[in-house]
């Protein structure tokens, strides 16, 4: 398709309409293209859609995968697939000599990239080719190669199954995560055994990622930092397949571990360095930037967090993220706006932000890990507005949330922070008295490490820094009852 053609046609008009209004209904598109939404025009649109879809799918063959910021293995895998596709056509046309040469080249590429599944395909086709041509010597050699490749592939498949089972549980409920945590030592031992036998990248990658997931579940972030650093060194030393190892995943887990282990300044420095390895068009870019923003917030680099949010929201793919992701970004932005308010905020802006905060759900399963952050943000806004009734209501809701959901030993940090918030009521919103009374609790909070990922409430801004913000708001003035104002 020539989308830059100066001659208007329905295909280009259709693409332009969808680009301009991606949420348009079928009838709206029909009216835009044909003027009226008749049955004949709807059928015409359906045929047009089919043609455009086919042409766009054909353009996938011409995508450039050479950019190092994409998954590194993609370009090498597609080389194998392209060659196998050509060989399949040649073999069907009984062009055996050229087929054999291309298969040997493809086999070399597959081995360099440790793409065992494509190695098996190449060797199978060579086996059939030699049988067809009655080349007994070559046939006997290739079936031994095939047996070994199939065995390695079986081990890789087993390793991949173990890892994907684990990954599914990690993306499920907290109960599922706790359950898989008990199984992880045996799974890691099994994966290690498979890698010792196969000595392939496929078994290594499953073992490596499962190991990182296990340490993450336990909250052993220092070990994740050690494991990811060791993997980077192995890659530099040529001990890992540079055509396969996804350095972006390694970078992501490294800065995530620095974030969770409360080494935000060092983590932010690395995030600024690693940022160049993520392509803005990929979902991985958004996942990375999410932790980039959190590192800036934890390092109290609020201006940098604000700059990052500007960059993120200008990404063309920002609006097509999942609703849950967009809501997380809204929550991060709300925290940034809170700590960096305009120097002279308008009354209208204050009302708008307060209204937005009020509309956030107080407890929602789909916001697992962010419920305390939502309730605390509401509390902070009403403290700034000095609205006593609203502050007391949020404190009561936080108390009930704690009783219902924060009873596990792994939720100590959240419970300590909520106890600190209760101190401000006990001391009648007096900042000096609350600060003095809260010293012991604050020290406990500082001495308590974050829990494992399976059990964590996300601290968008660390509780210690939030406590300082609360005391600062109280120094500006205690909340006042609406009745007293009247």
Q: Are 203 and 159 in contact (CB under 8 A)?
A: yes
Q: Are 115 and 152 in contact (CB under 8 A)?
A: no
What is the rounded CA–CA span in Å between residue 211 and residue 190?
12
Burial 310-330, CB ≥16 within 10 A → b, else e: eebeeeeeeeeeeeeeebbbe
Coil, helix or strand at residue 387: strand
CA angle 240, 245, 249 (to 5 degrees): 130
CA distances from 298 to 20, 62, 102, 348, 463 (A): 38, 42, 54, 30, 10
pLDDT at 486: 47
Q: What share of the chain is helix, strand, coil (3-state, %, to 5)?
A: 75, 0, 25
pLDDT at 265: 96
The alpha carbons of the chain give a radius of gyration, in whole angstroms, of 29
pTM of the predicted model as reported, rounded to 2 decimal places: 0.81
What is the rounded CA–CA span in Å between residue 430 and residue 433?
6
What is the rounded CA–CA span in Å between residue 142 and residue 346?
77
46-55: Cβ within 8 A, 24+ apart: 48/10, 48/11, 48/14, 49/14, 51/11, 52/1, 52/11, 52/14, 52/15, 55/1, 55/11
What is the rounded CA–CA span in Å between residue 426 and residue 111?
69
Q: How far does CA 473 lie from the centroid of its chain?
A: 34
Q: Are 145 and 119 in contact (CB under 8 A)?
A: no
| Domain residue limits, the chain | 10-62, 246-321, 345-485
Q: For residue 82, how many C-alpha atoms fall within 13 Å in the half-sphere facing its CB?
A: 10
pLDDT at 359: 62
Q: Are 354 and 446 in contact (CB under 8 A)?
A: no
CA angle 411, 412, 413 (to 5 degrees): 95
CA angle 329, 279, 459 (to 5 degrees): 30
pLDDT at 358: 61
Residues recorded for the chain? 486
pLDDT at 409: 75
What is the rounded CA–CA span in Å between residue 317 and residue 288?
14
From the list 344, 349, 376, the residue with the least C-alpha distance to 463 is 376
Terminal CA-CA length for the chain: 68
Going residue by residue through the chain, which has 486 residues, state the pLDDT in tens, using 9 for 90 and above: 777 777 778 888 898 888 888 888 888 888 888 888 888 998 999 999 999 999 988 888 887 777 777 788 899 999 999 999 999 999 999 999 999 999 999 999 999 999 999 999 999 999 999 999 999 999 999 999 999 999 999 999 999 999 999 999 888 777 888 888 899 999 999 999 999 999 999 999 999 999 999 998 888 999 999 999 999 999 999 999 999 999 999 999 999 999 999 999 999 999 999 999 998 988 789 999 999 999 999 999 999 999 999 999 999 889 888 888 888 898 999 899 889 875 555 556 555 555 665 665 554 444 456 888 888 998 998 899 898 998 898 888 888 888 888 877 778 888 999 999 999 999 999 999 999 999 999 999 999 887 765 456 788 999 999 999 999 999 998 888 866 554
């Amino acid at each position: 398709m020539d989308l830059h053609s100066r001659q208007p046609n329905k295909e280009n008009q259709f693409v332009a309409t969808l680009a301009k209004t991606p949420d348009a209904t079928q009838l709206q598109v029909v009216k835009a293209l044909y003027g009226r939404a008749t049955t004949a025009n709807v059928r015409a649109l359906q045929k047009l859609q089919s043609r455009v879809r086919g042409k766009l799918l054909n353009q996938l063959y011409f995508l450039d995968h050479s950019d190092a910021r994409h998954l590194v293995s993609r370009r090498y895998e597609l080389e194998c697939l392209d060659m196998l596709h050509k060989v399949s056509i040649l073999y069907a046309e009984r062009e055996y000599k050229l087929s054999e040469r291309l298969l040997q080249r493809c086999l070399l590429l597959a081995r360099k990239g440790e793409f065992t599944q494509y190695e098996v395909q190449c060797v199978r086709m060579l086996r059939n080719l030699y049988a067809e041509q009655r080349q007994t010597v070559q046939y006997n050699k290739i079936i031994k190669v095939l047996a070994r490749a199939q065995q390695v592939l079986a081990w890789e498949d087993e390793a991949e199954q173990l890892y994907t089972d684990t990954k599914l549980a990690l993306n499920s409920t907290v109960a599922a995560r706790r359950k898989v945590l008990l199984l992880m030592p045996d799974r890691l031992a099994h994966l290690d055994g498979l890698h010792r036998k196969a000595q392939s990248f496929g078994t290594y990658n499953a073992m490596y990622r499962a190991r990182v997931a296990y340490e993450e579940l336990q909250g052993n972030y220092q070990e994740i930092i050690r494991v990811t650093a060791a993997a980077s060194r192995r890659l530099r030393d040529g001990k890992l397949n540079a055509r396969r190892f996804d350095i972006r995943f390694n970078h992501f887990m490294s800065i995530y571990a620095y974030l969770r282990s409360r080494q935000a300044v060092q983590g932010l420095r690395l995030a600024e360095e690693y940022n160049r390895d993520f392509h803005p068009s990929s979902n991985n870019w958004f996942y990375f930037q999410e932790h980039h923003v959190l590192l800036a917030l934890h390092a109290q680099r609020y201006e940098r967090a604000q700059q990052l949010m500007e960059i993120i929201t200008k990404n063309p793919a920002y609006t097509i993220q999942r609703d849950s992701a967009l809501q997380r970004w809204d929550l991060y932005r709300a925290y940034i706006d809170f700590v960096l308010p305009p120097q002279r905020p308008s009354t209208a802006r204050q009302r708008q932000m307060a209204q937005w905060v009020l509309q956030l759900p107080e407890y929602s399963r789909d916001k697992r890990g962010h419920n305390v952050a939502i309730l605390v943000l509401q509390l902070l806004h009403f403290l700034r507005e000095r609205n006593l009734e609203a502050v007391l209501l949020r404190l009561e809701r936080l108390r009930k949330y704690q009783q219902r959901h924060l009873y596990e030993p792994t939720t100590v940090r959240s419970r300590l922070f909520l106890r600190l918030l209760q101190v401000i009521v006990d001391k009648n919103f007096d900042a000096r008295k609350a600060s003095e009374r809260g010293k012991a609790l604050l020290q406990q909070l500082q001495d308590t490490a974050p829990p494992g990922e399976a059990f964590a409430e996300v601290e968008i801004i660390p509780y210690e820094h939030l406590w300082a913000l609360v005391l600062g708001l109280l120094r500006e003035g205690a909340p006042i009852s609406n009745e007293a104002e009247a």
